[in-house]
Amino acid sequence: MKARAIYVLVVLVGIVYSLGTVYKAYPIVASFGIIGSMLLEVALIALAAAMFDEISDGTVQMYLAAGLSRLEYVVSWFLVAVVYPAAGITAAMLVPALVVDPATIAMPIVPYTIGGFTPSLLIIAIATCIQILNNVTVALALGLKYKSKGIAYLVLAFLAFLMPLVLSMIVSFLGALAGDYYRYYSLYLLMLPFNPLYSLTIFSSSSPIRLSLTTILSVPAVVALVFFLLALYITRRELEV
């Protein structure tokens, strides 16, 4: 049931992205990239928390008793709650552009120019994909470690909302105290492993800390992979149901 809800949700969000791309409403695509992905992540965790409910109420035992392995069960949830939404949203952004005008994909989205950096639709799509993969994977992996959906909610809220908000406030506050806004800018590096969409705007060419696109995209991708492997390790070694 929850898996079906995830399917419907991704289709609906995907339609918004697709329309934005088809009508070249890139500001919508770009801003929706950040806000939309945050909201989507929250919804995904809320739905994927069904995994923790199934573990605590014993439903998982019925699946395992049928012959599934613990790994197959957990990986299925990751496919439904992480891989499918990330791939679906990325496709929703890129496929319409490919159909309408393939050149659009590599063109900078001019209205999205922030700090002298103008990412293309392709970069925005990849960053959105990695952000979903990263945040939901980290939240699910840590939730799995403690068999707690509360932990998963908390981690997701922290990564998607609290960390960017709190860091901005701290950097601004400390910068104001020091009379130099950029003095504590390096604190934003804490976001690099988890928030590629934010990192795109923060570590752009005009910021005091400039990072390459490869760094901005590959670090959170590697972190997502590490947390996915951690989830597999936890499942194999210590997940009791």
Partner 1 sequence: MHSMSEPVVFENVTKIFWGSKRVVRALDNASFKIPSKTVAGLLGPNGSGKTTSFKLVMGFLKPSSGKVSVFGVDPWVRGESVRRRIGYLPEKPVYPDVPVYRYLRYVAKVRNASEEDVSRIVRLVGLSGYVWMNTRGLSRGYLQRLGLAQALIGDPELLLLDEPTANLDPLSRREILELIKDLKKELGITIVIATHILPELQEVVDYLLYINRGRVVESGMLEELATRYYVDAYYYIEVEEPRKLASRLVVEDYVRGVEIRDKSLVVRINAAFKEELLRVLSLPEYSIGIRRVEMLTSELGELYEKLSGSSR
Which parts of this chain interact with partner 1 (CB under 8 A)? Answer: 1, 57-59, 61-62, 64-70, 72, 238, 240-241
Nearer to partner 1, 23 or 146 (CB): 146
Q: How far is the CB of 6 from partner 1 (least distance, A)?
A: 16
Question: Among candidates 79, 80, 113, which has minimal Cα distance to 206?
Answer: 113
Write the DSSP string, 22-59.
Answer: HTT-HHHHHHHHHHHHHHHHHHHHHHHTHHHHHHHHSH
The residue among 31 and 61 lying less far from partner 1, judged by its C-beta, is 61
- Between 154 and 157, CB nearer to partner 1: 154
By C-beta, is 66 or 103 nearer to partner 1? 66
CB 182 → partner 1: shortest distance, Å? Answer: 45
Phi–psi pair at 67, nearest 5 degrees:
125, 0
The secondary structure of residue 194, as a DSSP letter, is T
- The one-letter code for the residue type at 212 is S
Rounded least distance, CB 232 to partner 1, Å = 15
Q: For residues 72 and 101, which CB has a smaller minimum distance to partner 1 in the complex? A: 72
**Looking at this protein, which amino acid is placed at residue 42?**
V
Residue 238 Cβ vs partner 1, minimum distance, rounded to whole Å: 7
Which residues have a Cβ under 8 Å from the Cβ of 174 and sit 6 or more positions away?
Answer: 183, 184, 187
In residues, how long is the chain? 241
Least distance between partner 1 and beta carbon 106 (Å): 44
Tell the smallest beta-carbon distance from residue 45 to partner 1 (Å).
Answer: 21
Nearest-angstrom CA–CA distance, 214 and 196:
11
Q: How far apart are CA 77 and CA 57, in angstroms?
A: 17
Smaller CB separation from partner 1, 67 or 116: 67
DSSP 114: B
